[in-house]
């Protein structure tokens, strides 16, 4: 179970990373729409697993690899934004959140079945 501190930090990271992807990382995302759907932080606050929804792109895997390649740059930008709230900025791991694709697939299957 997550502590209140973990939950607050997860919300903080989700909000700030969302703004970073929208405003400062156009060169990394190639102007695709990137949404931070969920952030999980380990209890020792050393690692953050960030789940992203990727839209308006042909190749989601290549975009996710591009984001992972720039993880240190993203961490530095994040550190500058949250330096007064956290002592140590967690390491960032990025994953694709495919839950919306899964929901869409189920909807299509249900419509085809009717």
User: Residue 80: CB partners within 8 Å, gap ≥ 6?
Assistant: none
Structure confidence at residue 73 (pLDDT): 95
Q: Which domain holds residue 55?
A: 4-113
**Helices 60-69 and 71-82, packing angle to 10 deg:** 60
Mean pLDDT of 80-86: 91
Please give the tally of structural domains in the chain.
1
Please tell me the pTM assigned to this model: 0.85
Q: Identify the band that residue 28 occupies on the pLDDT scale cut at 50, 70 and 90.
A: confident
Distance CA 70, CA 113 (A): 43
Mean pLDDT of 65-77: 95
Give the CATH number, domain containing residue 28.
3.30.300.20
- Per residue in 89-98, pLDDT (tens digit) is 999 999 998 8
């Amino acid at each position: 179970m997550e502590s209140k501190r973990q939950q607050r930090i997860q919300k903080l990271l989700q909000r700030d990373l969302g703004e970073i992807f929208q405003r400062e990382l156009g060169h990394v995302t190639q102007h695709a729409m990137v949404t931070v759907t969920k952030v999980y932080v380990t209890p020792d606050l050393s690692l953050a697993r960030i789940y992203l929804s990727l839209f308006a792109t042909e190749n989601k895997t290549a975009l996710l690899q591009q984001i992972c390649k720039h993880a240190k740059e993203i961490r530095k930008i994040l550190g500058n934004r949250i330096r007064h709230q956290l002592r140590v900025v967690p390491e960032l791991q990025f994953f694709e959140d495919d839950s919306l694709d899964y929901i869409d697939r189920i909807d299509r299957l249900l419509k085809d079945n009717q």
